[in-house]
Structure formats: C-alpha cells, structure tokens
Amino acid sequence: MVEVIGVRFQRTLKIYDFDVNNLSLKKGDSVIVETEHGITLGKVALPSHMKEKNRVHKGLKKALRKATEEDIQQAEEIHKKELEAKYFCVEKARELGLAMKVVNVEYFFDGSKAIFYFTADKRVDFRKLVRMLASRFKTRIEMRQIGARDEAKLVGGLGACGRELCCAKFMPSFELVSIKMAKTQGLLLNPEEISGRCGRLMCCLAFEFPLYKEMGKKLPKMGKRIKTTQGEGRVVRLDILKNRFWVHLSGGETVEMTPENWMKG
C-alpha cells in the first residue's frame, strides 16, 4: 500500500495520484508537485488515502510542499503570460498567412517551456512562427495540434441544453460516441440536432445510451411487423422512456400501445 493524494490541475478535470510525501494536506489546498513537465501548481481534489501499489502509476511523483502565497501569485502571473502569448501568436500566425487556429497556451510553472495548442485542417509549416515566439518569450516553444473535441474542452461554453459543456465541466476523458446511440434513442439523424459545440456527436448520447438500450429490450424494434391485441401491424414509432410504442395496423389505423398489447412469439 502507498499513501497518495489526488491532485487536479487548472486545465484538466482528471485527478492524478501523487505520493503525499508526509505532508499535511486537505481537500482544496494548493500544492506544488513534481510532474513529467517539471514543477507545477495544482489543487488537492482527494485528501490523503491509501492505495494498492498495483493501482498506482509506476513512476509516481511526489507532492513537494503546500503552495505559498508567492506560488499562487506566480501562477496568476503565468496566466497573464499565457494570455499575452496567445494573442501574440494569433497575430503572427495571421501575418504569416498560416491556416491555423490558436486555441490556448500553457506555460510551465518555472517558465521553462510554453505549449501552444492549435487546430488546423491541413499540415502547417510553423517553423518561422516558432522562431518568432521563442525570440519574443525567451523560452522553449512546443506547437501541439489538437482535435475539435479537445478545443471545446479547453475553451468551454454552453451546450444546446443551456448548461456548461460536459467535457469542460466534469469529463476527465472523452467517451466513444456513435450514430447507433442516436438511433437507439429515437433521435432524428440531423447533424444540427445531435452534434455538440465541437461539431462532433454529443457526448451526452453516450451517457444515456445504456438506459435506452436496457429499456428498449421491453419494446419491439422500429419497423417490425408484430401481432397485437388489436391486430397485426408495423411499428412506426417508439417512446422508450415512457415504455410505449405506436403500430400502424393493417386496417389503416395507427394506435398507441404498451408492451402488454404485444403478442410475442
């Protein structure tokens, strides 16, 4: 067993394990930790607890110390640098005629490196841009291309439901979403209706799919010819959540039914 704390960083909702290193930390404390990217400031999301060694990453890093007021102030200064770097990069990319969209900038806590996240439809030759950024900010520069879903997660915003985007609010990683999930939920396959801010299928389709799949077992399949207590007909509509369906009978009438009306076998 090993004693760890769970730490969350500013740009991610995922919680990472760190060796507590005999520190007294509680949930909500700002903490300085050692990561693969160097020294970083994070926030304790899970207080000290014991975890089996086989459930902890082999290269488990340590929490170094509780963050001081100076550390927190330094983090605020870094955030200002990131905004400045983003606007500068946008301006220079436009001047160079580069077909790319600068989404965000992430500075290492010690200022030794800055990562510029961007989206682009095609390969971008940003070598000249990197030289301009390195000259302006006097640090190592990394350009990292990301996808549309990653962009939505970084930028945030509101979804069609009026709530904050799931990926930005609570999702530590992306779910696999498919058209089959939309079909199972009886949704119209209109891209505008089933796509999120990123232009990809909405993540919430994956959240609700297991419930629809399980409840849908009680109902006949869409388009299937079945026998009912009112005669034979074809299923033309399903309402899975309300456990009902509609059948177009051979006589021409369309009637609402429940599983009790369905003569199986």
Check pLDDT > 90 for residue 139: yes
What is the predicted pLDDT for the residue at 12? Answer: 64
Determine the pLDDT at residue 265.
Answer: 63
CA 162/CA 192 separation, integer angstroms: 15
Mean pLDDT of 144-156: 86
Same domain, 176 and 203: yes
**pLDDT score for 58:** 75
Residue range(s) defining the domain that contains residue 63: 2-67
Residue 27, pLDDT > 70, answer yes
pLDDT at 152 over 80: yes
Confidence at 13, pLDDT banded by 50, 70, 90: low
Q: Are residues 82 and 141 in the same domain?
A: yes
pLDDT of residue 69: 92
Q: Under 8 Å CB-to-CB from 53, ≥6 apart: which residues?
A: 1, 2
CATH number at residue 103: 3.30.300
Could you tell me if residue 164 is inside a domain? Answer: no
pLDDT at position 179, please? 92
pLDDT score of 56: 76
Q: How confident is the model at residue 36 (pLDDT cuts 50, 70, 90)?
A: confident
- Examine the domain organization and report whether 11 and 46 are in the same domain: yes
Q: Between 15 and 133, where is the model more confident?
A: 133
Assigned domain for 158 exists: no
Least confident range from 58-62, 87-91, 132-136: namely 58-62
Instruction: Give pLDDT tens digits for 172-217.
Output: 778 889 999 988 888 888 888 889 888 899 999 999 899 999 988 8
Q: Do 8 and 44 fall within a single domain? A: yes
Q: Residue 245 domain-assigned?
A: yes
Count of domains forming the chain? 4
The predicted-structure confidence for 212-263, as pLDDT tens digits, reads as follows 999 888 888 888 998 998 889 999 988 898 999 999 998 889 989 898 888 8
Examine the pLDDT at 126 and tell me if it is beyond 90.
Answer: yes
Alpha carbons 87 and 99: distance in angstroms, whole number: 16
CA distances from 45 to 8, 23, 60, 69, 193 (A): 6, 15, 17, 19, 35
Is pLDDT above 80 for 101?
Answer: yes
Quick one: pLDDT band at residue 157, thresholds 50, 70, 90? confident
* Domain annotation covers residue 108: yes
